[in-house]
Amino acid sequence: MGGMTQHAHPARHIRPEDHDLAVWSRAIAWILLAVILIALPFVVILAGDPPAARGFLRDFSLGLGFSALSLAGMQFALTGRIKPLLHPFGADIVVVFHRFLSWGLVALMLGHFAILYIWHQDDLGVLNPMHAEPHMTAGRVAMGCFVALVASSELRQRLGLDYLWWRRLHVALALLGFGAAIWHVLGAGHFTGRDGTRGLWLGATLAWLGLIAWTRLWRPWQQWRNPWRVVQNRDEGDGVRTLVLRPEGRPLTGWRPGQFAWLAVGTSPFALREHPFTISTAPDKGPELSISIKPLGDDSERLSKTPEGTIAYVDGPYGTFSIDREADSGGFVMIAGGVGITPLIANLHALQERRDPRPVILLYASKDWEEIAFREELRRIARDIDLRVIHVIQDPPEDDWPPQDHETREGMIDADLLADLLPDESRDWPHMLCGPAPMLEAVRKALRDKGVPLARIDSEIFEMV
């Protein structure tokens, strides 16, 4: 641990926009903007000269339809990987917003249809698409698309739907549904016929379409112009392979340790065939990226075998699972299961490069002692910083156990183990968790029971959908 004093205080590495106050202000500003965008159509309708009311229920139902369309447009912003929007919340929380808003959106659309179907059949006209007006059929197509979007996402794992095919279906249904909804609104012409309101709807539509074009065309094009080359593919143990990528164009900017990027190898960046992976090294080490991949499915298997020299495309950085958001913490508790070690390794690399003096306790759960990714790497890092690593092994070997030169425990990470290993003063340190979902749930509960404040528990989730 020599030489620590020559390094600056840890807080020096925290950027102004990562301080709590800045993060909270941005989060509130985004939420206010969302509320304004949803309310805007109603304000314009009410402020203008509304057409003669034709019954509360009918107008209410139209209101539900307009709100559904606003929410649908907003979904493109939530899934468009807009960095300033993701920054205060984190990519996983935004996915959760996206999911709940989708349920709300479908409920509003069904409510819109149901009210007209029950009380204002004359407005709906005939349902048979052969005889119905096209813009009315478009409305029903939109509703069908959005119901299918939510159902296919909620049931994806149960239906065994392959992730990539689900994603393509998702994008196609979203575009078709949104386009059909716009056609329906403009075709029906309620509250859209006069110059002001028509301009508002056209403007909003163009803004959302611009956002889609930016996400699906402009950003992939930027990736295509800035390729990366795989310069190394090495074994880390436990089947994990690390790809080292060198920038052939612009390197990543503004990257924090613990963040992730979307990686596409062997396909064009336009192909939607990309996967999120943690950058398992720290920006302090230079512009090369390391991506450590555990082959758990078809694509991760393929990616882990990428030959050196191959071109790759990277979209990032994203995510908030970083020590760079922790200016004032007295230390860190890190808890990893299996390949969930990758974001923690990245953060540890940063602490190592900076010779950060703060203590770190890492509990690392693995199945076997023989196969542990980054075992030696962790030992090297522990020579440079105040890092205590405890390997928790589910099936320890019969012979030579426990090893003399490592701290180990048998079994799983549970409340007793945490009570035994974590000192009282660590309660207010950030607890950074990454691993399989059941492990995260059990550890989170045990930490809460131990009195760790919720705000001090942060987890990275590898299965977003």
Ligand X SMILES: Cc1cc2nc3c(=O)[nH]c(=O)nc-3n(C[C@H](O)[C@H](O)[C@H](O)COP(=O)(O)OP(=O)(O)OC[C@H]3O[C@@H](n4cnc5c(N)ncnc54)[C@H](O)[C@@H]3O)c2cc1C
Residue 435 identity (one-letter amino acid): G
Question: Both tokens of residue 462?
Answer: 């590898």
Contacts 24+ apart (CB under 8 A), 213-217: 214/80, 215/76, 215/79, 215/80, 215/81, 216/171, 216/270, 217/270
Please say whether the beta carbons of 64 and 108 come within 8 A: yes
Choices 32-40, 134-142, 401-409, 457-465 (CB under 6 A): range interacting with ligand X: 457-465
CB of 407 to ligand X, least distance (A): 24
Choices 65-73, 106-114, 201-209, 275-283 (CB under 6 A): range interacting with ligand X: 275-283
Kindly state whether residue 278 participates in binding ligand X, applying the rule CB under 6 A: yes
10 Å Cβ neighbour count for 396? 18
CB of 163 to ligand X, least distance (A): 4
C-beta closer to ligand X: residue 286 or 297? 297
Contacts 24+ apart (CB under 8 A), 297-303: 297/163, 299/164, 299/273, 299/275, 300/275, 302/265, 302/266, 303/243, 303/263, 303/265, 303/275
Please name the helix (run of DSSP H) or strand (run of DSSP E) that holds residue 231, with its range, or none: strand 228-237
Helix (H, G, I), strand (E, B) or coil at 435: coil
C-beta closer to ligand X: residue 29 or 296? 296
CB of 10 to ligand X, least distance (A): 24
Number of residues that bind ligand X (CB under 6 A): 22
CB of 351 to ligand X, least distance (A): 18
CB of 279 to ligand X, least distance (A): 8
10 Å Cβ neighbour count for 309? 9
Residue 147 identity (one-letter amino acid): V
Site for ligand X in 107-166 (CB under 6 A): 162-163
C-beta closer to ligand X: residue 185 or 345? 345
C-beta closer to ligand X: residue 234 or 388? 234
Cβ within 8 Å of residue 154, ≥6 positions away: none
Q: Judged by CB under 6 A, which of 137, 342, 347, 459 binds ligand X?
A: 342
Q: Judged by CB under 6 A, which of 255, 260, 369, 374 binds ligand X?
A: 260
Please say whether the beta carbons of 103 and 75 come within 8 A: no
Q: Judged by CB under 6 A, which of 48, 227, 276, 357 binds ligand X?
A: 276
Q: Judged by CB under 6 A, which of 112, 219, 241, 275 binds ligand X?
A: 275
CA 331 to CA 23: how far, in whole Å? 21
C-beta closer to ligand X: residue 162 or 288? 162
C-beta closer to ligand X: residue 45 or 457? 457
CB of 162 to ligand X, least distance (A): 6
Q: Which residue is nearest to ligand X (CB)?
A: 297
Kindly state whether residue 437 participates in binding ligand X, applying the rule CB under 6 A: no
DSSP 247: E
Please say whether the beta carbons of 168 and 272 come within 8 A: yes
CA 280 to CA 393: how far, in whole Å? 23
Cβ within 8 Å of residue 348, ≥6 positions away: 334, 360, 362, 378, 381, 385, 387
Q: How far is CA 12 from CA 26, 286, 360, 429, in A?
A: 21, 18, 19, 18
x/- string (CB under 6 A) for ligand X, residues 322-341?
A: -----------------x--
C-beta closer to ligand X: residue 298 or 371? 298
CA 68 to CA 73: how far, in whole Å? 9
Kindly state whether residue 357 participates in binding ligand X, applying the rule CB under 6 A: no
Q: Judged by CB under 6 A, which of 30, 191, 277, 313 binds ligand X?
A: 277
Site for ligand X in 285-324 (CB under 6 A): 292-294, 296-300, 319
C-beta closer to ligand X: residue 38 or 95? 95
Can you give the binding site for ligand X, defined by CB under 6 A? 162-163, 260, 275-278, 292-294, 296-300, 319, 339, 342, 462-465
